[in-house]
Amino acid sequence: MIRLCINTQTPPVRPLPPARDRGTRPWRLGKEYTVQVGGVVPMMRALLRAGAGRWIAPQPRWVALGTEEMPAELRTDDGYRLELIHLTAEKRRLYGRFKEAVWASFHGPGFPEFVPAEYRAFVEYSSKTALQLLTHLGDYDLFYINDFQQILV
């Protein structure tokens, strides 16, 4: 079986209040969290469900961008560990603006404005993510890095 680590910018869970101090037990769908419904998350959750115990080894890891109300790491009742990269609210805002400018440059006419502070936030998130993934280098057989905004990872 393949030991899998997934990296997306969007976290697969959206915490239900209060999320921070829930202890070490797995978060339960509908109790501690709801799922993100857009983007790549549904596809990756379906992949984990379909492959669990068949070709994906137990306890896959998912690394994503977190928010203040989420712990650094948690387990879900879906069977994966979620590890979150934290930025301040301001850095997340700047990162988001740069990410949208990158998206627009790939998908639309014209050339968006790139702001240095936004680029720095993008690089900060990307480097934190890459460094965190490197700590797991010997633990996983496959690192699936998804999303255009992970281009520096």
pLDDT of residue 22: 65
For the stretch 97-152, pLDDT in tens is 998 888 888 777 777 788 999 999 999 999 999 999 999 999 999 999 986 666 66
Whether 4 has a pLDDT exceeding 90, the answer reads yes
Q: How far apart are CA 90 and CA 48, in angstroms?
A: 32
CB atoms within 10 A of CB 78: 20
Contact between 27 and 74 under an 8 Å Cβ cutoff? The reply is: yes
102 sits in which H/E element: helix 89-107
Residues 131, 122, 145, 76, CA torsion sign: positive
For the chain, what is the domain count? 1
Its pTM stands at 0.88
Per the structure, the complete domain to which residue 143 belongs is given by 4-150
For the stretch 43-90, pLDDT in tens is 999 999 999 999 999 999 999 999 888 889 999 999 999 999 999 999
pLDDT of residue 153: 54
pLDDT of residue 62: 96
Q: Which of 94, 146, 144 is nearest to 124 (CA)?
A: 94
**Six-digit token pair at 106?**
């790939």
